[in-house]
Amino acid sequence: MADRPYIMLGIESSCDETAAAIVGSDKTIYANEIASQIAQHAQYGGVVPEVAARAHLEAIDLVIEKALQTAGFALSDIDAFAATAGPGLIGGVAVGTVTAKAIAAARQRPYFAINHLEGHSLSARLADSVAFPYLLLLVSGGHTQLLAVAGPGQYHRYGTTMDDAAGEAFDKCAKIMGLGYPGGPAIEAAAQQGDATAIALPRPLKGADHCHFSFSGLKTALANKFKQLGGAEKAPVNDLAASLQAAIADCLADRSHHAMAQFRRDYLQASASAPPVLVIAGGVAANKYIFAQLADTASKNGFRLSVPPAALCTDNAAMIAWAALERHQQNAGDSDGFDFAPRPRWPLDAHASPPPGRGVRA
């Protein structure tokens, strides 16, 4: 039928979530299934690549089958297949990529190799009416970047992390304080019982004349304070958690403020009637304190804030399916060959200069 939406099955397996989703070109999410590996990695205090790869192998077929059952579809109803092809842990990326290629080849359907970061970048358009161009703060476990998004495949990176990402800082600091894994939710919970002004922590790069981030020094400062204040037996963990959360939020807000000014200069016309949009995507966007700080910063700069629902912020396959649909809608023949190789590193803006004295993190 002419009015039938184009149906995409997406697979995400770049880290510790094995996910499959079925999404239509009309933005209907028919299924969005996730098999989490948190319990398997919690004993190690972080993701172990070998453990993750084996878990993806065990879960991938079951997750796809569950997505089809939830949607009430058969494989014959799917028009195309997409999978995260990078960046990420290469073992997991390979599992999802090979699976999507195999099904697409067997069904003689198009295959889309999707950049995990592009999935996050375009997820707001699946949940909200966000027009291009917009400013994106991508803040997740492995990535902290500020980018102008002009369309699928059209990215201008303003800033990236020079060392740890914000999510990494949360995970590493939670491990130091014995709060468990994953660190972000654990620190947010502890911070609710703490005083964010109790312990002085640095705000790396705050006020700098660029949009890059650095969180490694903040992690070290937290570790030193934890030790100075008595370690596991005596340190005020709730106050430390609240102070850390506030420091990270201040850094994200300050760098975003700088990027908003740059975005206005680069993309906005003086006659523009609608306010520009700041999109926050990635798992850290679920942190309520950080969300409030960024909402205030956006408002003060005249930006509308758009944040996808929590299910689309953390790693998921609906965003991968949607990124593929965006490409399909832009150019119906723009699928990938089955010889596309998975990539452990894959920057959205490959032409962007790296931060001073550092390599590109992507």
Question: In the predicted model, is pLDDT for residue 80 greater than 90?
Answer: yes
Question: In the predicted model, is pLDDT for residue 257 greater than 50?
Answer: yes
Query: What pLDDT does 274 receive?
Result: 84
pLDDT (mean) for 143-168: 94
Query: What pLDDT does 270 receive?
Result: 59
Query: What pLDDT does 52 receive?
Result: 81
From-to residues of CATH 3.30.420.40 in the chain:
7-122+312-330, 131-307
Query: What pLDDT does 358 receive?
Result: 54
Residue 161 carries which side chain, given as an amino acid letter?
T
Q: How confident is the model at residue 271 (pLDDT cuts 50, 70, 90)?
A: low
pLDDT (mean) for 16-26: 95
Query: What pLDDT does 202 receive?
Result: 96
Question: In the predicted model, is pLDDT for residue 362 greater than 60?
Answer: no
Encode pLDDT of 193-249 as tens digits: 999 999 999 999 999 999 999 999 999 999 999 999 999 999 999 999 999 999 999
Question: In the predicted model, is pLDDT for residue 272 greater than 70?
Answer: no
pLDDT (mean) for 164-189: 93
Query: What pLDDT does 331 receive?
Result: 85
Give the CATH superfamily of 131-307.
ATPase, nucleotide binding domain (3.30.420.40)
Number of other CB atoms surrounding residue 40 within 10 Å = 15
- Among 47-61, 91-105, 273-287, 345-359, the minimum mean pLDDT is found in 345-359
The model's pTM: 0.92
Encode pLDDT of 278-328 as tens digits: 999 988 888 999 999 999 999 999 999 999 998 999 899 999 999 999 999
Query: What pLDDT does 355 receive?
Result: 76
- CATH of segment(s) 7-122+312-330: 3.30.420.40
